[in-house]
Amino acid sequence: MAPRANWKGFLRIGEVSCAVALYTAASTSERIAFHTVNRATGHRVRREFVDAETGRPVERDDQVKGYEVAQGDYVILEPEEVAATVPDSDKTLEVSAFLRCGEIDQVYFDKPYYLAPADKAAEEAFALIREGMRKKGVAAIARTVLFRRVRTVLIRAHDEGMIATTLNFDYEVRSASEAFKDIPSMRIKGEMLELAEHIIRTKAGEFDITAFDDRYESALAELVKAKAEGRKIGKGVFPWAASGRSLSLGRSEGITKVIFDEADDRVIGACIVGPNAGDLIAEVALAIEMGADAVDLGHTIHPHPTLSETVNFAAEMFEGTITDLIPPKKRH
């Protein structure tokens, strides 16, 4: 199914314009979401607004906006009064200026959207604007009404489309000087500065977003799946900071986590973060296919020193038999 546009309108630069559509670039909709339920019945519960003083429920028609001017004293705003403050929209991203892409401090970046042609007729003009900005290495500043507010938008060429990032207003961004005012001014030089530069060189790398996992989300997914299937799960976690091979690579931040079914200790999953994780997890995939358990992994001979040992060590962490770290309590 094609993604649904959040907004449709026109991108205009002087006399050149084209129909465009905004699509969400970053979303939390794929995260695990919970409902609040009654433990006793398993039924969902509903939220009800009550008067803070009387404790009585307040009907929807009686709920209005209020701005507190003094403790317990509110200025009441009726729905039609609030609606009247919403600015009129002409559905046009009117470009006011072009600037070098790095000129805006990223602290002002709010939320990114994909900007694409809204129809076939707009594709040529859209490509003209995109390639012109790409060739000049510039971004466009535009304003329009988005989601009931006038927003400033930074537009940049990106692959075959563009990225439109809404910008925070000045009053929404805290002053850096205020945030850093208690940090003393220090000048580092000589050997200490050289040491810092050496550490930075040894940690030099390339950004790969797939190398970073949401461990909380992964753990929730594992827990939900196991409980839905009526299984109790366990895990063995081995930090790469205890791996000689990982330390020699200068990548001690990795981790190997293997998931087991506590009923029979069979391997049912894994999460590996670090260099060559995609290669290492193949061993766990084979273990799942063969019905291997924690003892099978622990008794498998792994070359030393290698990253593949971390799978072995994770199994031993689960069993409580590891000797390379202080082991958890033995399970048997």
CATH number of 7-27+86-172: 2.40.290.10
Distance CA 92, CA 148 (A): 14
**pTM, rounded to two decimals:** 0.65
One CATH from 3.30.390.30, 3.40.50.10610, 2.40.320.10, 2.60.40.650 for 214-319: 3.30.390.30
What are the extents of the domains in the chain? 7-27+86-172, 214-319
Residue 133: per-residue pLDDT: 94
pLDDT in tens, 67-116: 999 988 999 999 899 888 888 888 999 999 999 988 899 999 999 999 99
Q: What is the pLDDT of residues 11-39, one digit of tens each?
A: 999 888 999 999 999 887 788 888 999 99
Average pLDDT of the segment spanning 278-303: 89
**At how many degrees (to 10) do helices 309-319 and 277-290 cross?**
50
Q: Pairing mode, if any, of strands 92-100 and 7-13?
A: parallel
Structure tokens at 327: 């082991």
